[in-house]
Amino acid sequence: MNWDSFIIYALSAIVFWSLSLILHMIPSKNKILPLIANIMIIVGLAILAIYISLLWIDLDRPPLRTLGETRLWYSFFLPFIGLITYSRWKYKWFLGYSIGLSILFLVINFMHPENFSKTLMPALQSPWFVPHVIVYIFSYALLAASSIVAIKGLYETYFREFKPETLDLADNLVYVGYAFLTLGLAFGALWAKEAWGHYWTWDPKETWALLTFLCYLVYMHFRYLHKSKVKTQLWILGLAFIVLLIAWFGINYLPSAQNSVHTYGQS
């Protein structure tokens, strides 16, 4: 599996998704057009799923090791989350956002292809590997989405009229994302015990995942007590996004992370 075939799969997914967004933009009275548009998203997802499966088989290990490989999973999960959110709550802009971000990840992957090395260090060869990483990816994608919602909300509060439903959407994303983050931390702890002998070692990636956990924890508790202080809630969510981004991408550049088992190696 090489990058020649990646571009074929990625491009077909991008074409389907872009067409679907265009269809969604056309105002229509009947339900046929949105249905076709949603089917196109599913087709795009299926194409990416096939690519990931082929890659998995070809590498002979789960493609979850390098940054490029995890980006591939984000490209898959974002439209997935977008589609579910859209079919439940009908936020069109959110669908557009998630697909846009997904396409961005695919493009980055094409511009900066990663080492598709077959090797996987023994500590990562565990049944925990796949659930642990996928749960995290899913959770980060949801939490990132919630923070984007908050940024939209902040824009609305300062420049337009703020609609309270915006935060309802953010809440749903935070709660589900948070549940998955807790699972990710818990699975990580159980796995670390098997692999390294201790469930928590304050490895930088662990520390930053915990920080993300704590920031969204502050949001949830603040919102619970001060339902009406919308602006502060929005700011907390916006701030949490920065922490999330560091946990997600920034780790490799932190001075504390030189010996982390979690930094995505190139070797």
Partner 1 sequence: MENKKNISKRKLFTKEWKYKEGFIISLALFIIGLSISVITGGEKAIMPSYPINVILIVVYTILLVVLYLFEKKNKVIAWLSSIPAAISSVVFLTIMSTLLGIIPQVPSKNELINNMGFTDLTSSWMFAFSVVFILTTLGLVTAKRVFPFKKKNIGFLLNHMGLYIVLISGLAGSGDIQRLYFKLNDNAKAPIDIGVDINNSAYSVPFKLKLKKFIMKEYVPKLVIVESKNSKIFDQRDKVPYHVDTNQTAKLMHWEVKVEKYIENALYDSINGVYSTEKKGAFPAAYVKVFNTQTSDTLEAWITSGNYLTYRKSLKLNDKYFLAMLTPEAKKYKSDIFVYNSNGEMEERSVEVNKPIKVEGWNLYQTGYNDKMGKWSDYSLVEAIHDPWLPVVYIGIFMLIAGSLYIFWIGKDLESSSNKKK
* Binding residues vs ligand HEM (CB under 6 A): 217, 220-221, 224
Binding partner of residue 38 among partner 1, ligand HEM, none, CB cut-off 5 to 8 Å per kind: none
17 or 248, CB closer to partner 1?
A: 248
Q: Which of 243, 265, 124 is nearest to 195 (CA)?
A: 124
CA–CA dist 69, 245 (Å, integer): 17
**Shortest approach of partner 1 to residue 67 CB, angstroms?**
13
**Shortest approach of partner 1 to residue 44 CB, angstroms?**
24
The binding site for partner 1 (CB under 8 A) comprises 2-3, 88-89, 113-119, 121-123, 125-126, 164-165, 168, 171-172, 175-176, 178-180, 182-183, 186, 189-190, 193-200, 202, 204, 207-208, 210-211, 214-215, 217-218, 221-222, 224-229, 246, 254-256, 258, 267
Report the sign of the C-alpha dihedral through residues 156, 162, 163, 168, in that order.
positive
CB-based burial of residue 184 (10 Å sphere; 0-12 exposed, 13-18 middle, 19+ buried)? buried
Binding partner of residue 66 among ligand HEM, partner 1, none, CB cut-off 5 to 8 Å per kind: none
- Contacts of 49 by beta carbon, 8 Å cutoff, 6+ apart: 76
8 or 46, CB closer to partner 1?
A: 8
> Do the beta carbons of residue 33 and residue 54 sit within 8 Å?
no
CA–CA dist 51, 69 (Å, integer): 11
> Do the beta carbons of residue 38 and residue 83 sit within 8 Å?
yes
Binding partner of residue 53 among ligand HEM, partner 1, none, CB cut-off 5 to 8 Å per kind: none
